[in-house]
Chains A and B, each alone.
Chain A
Amino acid sequence: MPVTPLPASIDGTVQLLAKADYIADRSLATVLYLALKMGRPIFLEGEAGVGKTEIAKVLAASLGRKLIRLQCYEGLDVSAAVYEWNYGAQMIAIRLAEAEGGGDRERIEHDVFSDKFLIKRPLLQALEPDPDGAPVLLIDEIDRTDEAFEAFLLEVLADFQVTVPELGTVKAPSPPIVVVTSNRTREVHDALKRRCLYHWVGYPDAARELKILRTKVPGISKKLSEQVVAFVQALRKEDLFKVPGVAETLDWAGALTELDAVALDPATVSDTLGVLLKYQDDIARLDNSKVKALLDEVKAEMRAAE
């Protein structure tokens, strides 16, 4: 299979993503294009549910590259992120060598610490040559891990190489496409951000959200989709602790179609509010009368637009 060429322009990037059902705005497409062109990692920050992780998946799918995902968590260390030796196999190899009487220490050590006994974790996998082109490396939710791991990543992201003491340095023949995401549960250090192209993924505007909704939930009626988007957009202007993201909009639209709703009414909205809002305080704030007022506002606006 021939390697899918990288997009040649910003418009090309928008189209490439659109082909894989990702409706990107121009600023994001610009950053992606630059990152691909310059071979720099992309640092995506934004609220939960705005489609940060999705970008990496879509990039991999549309470029025909392998997606390697490193999900960060507290306590993530080198043995889970880069490599680990297969100790069981090593022990057996040592015992076998002993049983055979080939007790040459140098040779055993050399054999045991060879590629054969190396378990490759995501970061090392991403540096390996791939016939389809360099893979997409997704380092997801980097804010969940600690500063020590972040510091380790600096070397990987700057030079695209890691060092295994027993084997030597592994360097990527062509640098992988790196996407780093963060939910901002803590501030990531400037040194790491400096090496990446930064983009804040915000909530989409109404037109783009409508496009996303229709692409992702194909069966939805025109009227309902417009109402859903208008309602969510209005909700984002409210003083809420956590406003719904795009993922919530899609979930909600899916839930409403499952309930065979053709248009929004206050009762349905109140019943399904748990799909949109995930904090009790927020749900309590949006009581029946408030929902009704919001809905009336939305409907009035839509009538005015017609």
Chain B
Amino acid sequence: MADGRLADNILYFARALRAAGMPVGPGSVLDALTALHVAQVGNRDDVYWTLHAVFVKRREHSILFDQAFRIFFRRRGLMEKMLAAMLPETLPSAPKPPEAGAQRIQDALFAGMNQREREEQLEIDARLTVSDREVLQKKDFAQMTAAEIAQAKDAIARLVLPFEFVRTRRLAPSRHGHIIDVRRTLRASMKAGGAVIDLKYVGPREKEPPIVALLDISGSMSQYTRLFLHFLHAVTEREKRVTTFLFGTRLTNVTRSIRQRDPDEALAACGANVADWAGGTRIATSLAEFNKRWARRVLGQGAVALLITDGLERDADDTLSFEMDRLHRSCRRLIWLNPLLRFEGFEPRAKGVRTILPHVDELRPIHNLDAMRDLVRALSGASVKGHDPKEMLRRVA
């Protein structure tokens, strides 16, 4: 095998990795070529791990690399050619069901060629209906495309949550502070020989409050679930103190799953952990469980609770009101994000919505929820006029 071909292939492979979102520079390509020579690779595994050692710099990129390696060398039958001279046996290639990252690699490698329709796993008839039957099922999410990830990252970067900063009791150097920082003052004056005392100040440090997200995954919300999960994943990545719960008929804490760096992996882990996808809703029961088991553990430090539900609860009774009230009193701010409130002049007629409304601090409607951008827009900035929860209630009454 000519050296030139090898270099070309490694170069293409590196480009594919880069397109899939891995930071692969030209230096790595040179390193890879050197490494392949030095390691004197003899089989597929050797090639794999040699390139892995050079290209993968972070744990979460390993999975992307794995997919890219398999697809790249499978498609072109390259590996066989590359190893033909050295290796007599043929290696069985075993294509597997889509794994995390596969969609992105496909996009990166065959951009423009591949318009494969992705199957929507959503049950249309379950949408916008309320039922309390418990449908237990696992969920496979369509994988994120590279473009989607780029868009999501872009949108999230622009996200300015309305509750962005809270004052903590910890002090930090500040020009506008009003407490004298004796330590720094003394150090500064010592530098000047002790003759001049230039006062230095400290003020309260501001910090993003922890976020606790409660996401409704019942049938009536199912078309938005994937988007919301991606949103929460992106927010979790940006800010460390995010706790995520999913609820349909039961409550599941998916914080650990969603903390995985790769969005596909994170969603797959969520899917595996939750048993009640797209089933009925029992908001009150789920909230009761949250209040009892989790509220005291995760709502400390001035946390903001983000309740994402359409509020379509069939049995909207005193329990729901009671649990909402308790939730409201346990957190610093309760924000309700409702994807159903997208029509101008929407009035909270549904009983569940009317029960929840008095207990939220802020209501955020989403007029058109197709992309992360809309979600970010809905959450950013000041609250929307005409959507004050108290006012809405008054209008109905």
Contact of B183 among A87, A184, A186, A187 (CB under 8 A): A87
Report the number of A-B residue pairs with Cβ-Cβ less than 8 Å: 56
| 8 A Cβ contacts from B300-323 to A | 300-301, 322
Cβ B170 vs Cβ A186 within 8 A: no
Q: What is the distance, in angstroms, from B178's C-beta to the closest C-beta of chain A?
A: 16
Query: Residues of B contacting A85 with CB < 8 Å?
Result: 182-183, 186
Cβ A105 vs Cβ B193 within 8 A: yes
The 0/1 profile, CB within 8 Å of B marked 1, for residues 79-108 of chain A is 100000101001100100010000101001
The answer, yes or no, to whether A74 is at the interface (CB within 8 Å) is yes
Residues of A within 8 A of B (CB): 73-77, 79, 85, 87, 90-91, 94, 98, 103, 105, 108-109, 112, 143, 146-148, 184-187, 241, 281
The 0/1 profile, CB within 8 Å of A marked 1, for residues 261-300 of chain B is 0000000000000000000000000000001100011101
The 8 closest A-B pairs by CB, nearest first: A75-B169, A185-B300, A87-B182, A75-B170, A186-B300, A74-B169, A94-B194, A184-B297
The answer, yes or no, to whether B122 is at the interface (CB within 8 Å) is no
Cβ A143 vs Cβ B183 within 8 A: no
Contact of B301 among A74, A77, A109, A281 (CB under 8 A): A74
CA distance A23 to B171 in the complex (A): 42
Given A98-B194, A105-B193, A241-B292, A186 contacting B297 (CB threshold 8 A): yes
Query: Residues of B contacting A187 with CB < 8 Å?
Result: 297-298
Query: Residues of B contacting A184 with CB < 8 Å?
Result: 296-297
Q: What is the distance, in angstroms, from A176's C-beta to the closest C-beta of chain B?
A: 25
CA distance A112 to B182 in the complex (A): 14
Cβ A90 vs Cβ B186 within 8 A: yes
Contact of A91 among B186, B297, B301, B326 (CB under 8 A): B186
Q: What is the distance, in angstroms, from B152's C-beta to the closest C-beta of chain A?
A: 26
CA distance A103 to B194 in the complex (A): 10
Contact of B300 among A91, A105, A143 (CB under 8 A): A143
CA distance A65 to B182 in the complex (A): 35
| 8 A Cβ contacts from B107-149 to A | none
A-B contact pairs, 12 of them (CB 8 A): A74-B170, A74-B301, A77-B171, A87-B182, A94-B190, A105-B193, A109-B190, A112-B190, A184-B297, A185-B296, A186-B298, A241-B291
The answer, yes or no, to whether B151 is at the interface (CB within 8 Å) is no
Given A75-B169, A75-B171, A98-B194, A185 contacting B186 (CB threshold 8 A): no
Cβ B170 vs Cβ A146 within 8 A: yes
Q: What is the distance, in angstroms, from B216's C-beta to the closest C-beta of chain A?
A: 23
CA distance A85 to B183 in the complex (A): 8
Cβ B300 vs Cβ A79 within 8 A: no
The answer, yes or no, to whether B168 is at the interface (CB within 8 Å) is yes
Q: Give the residue name and chain of the B residue nearest to A94 (CB).
A: B194
CA distance A112 to B189 in the complex (A): 13
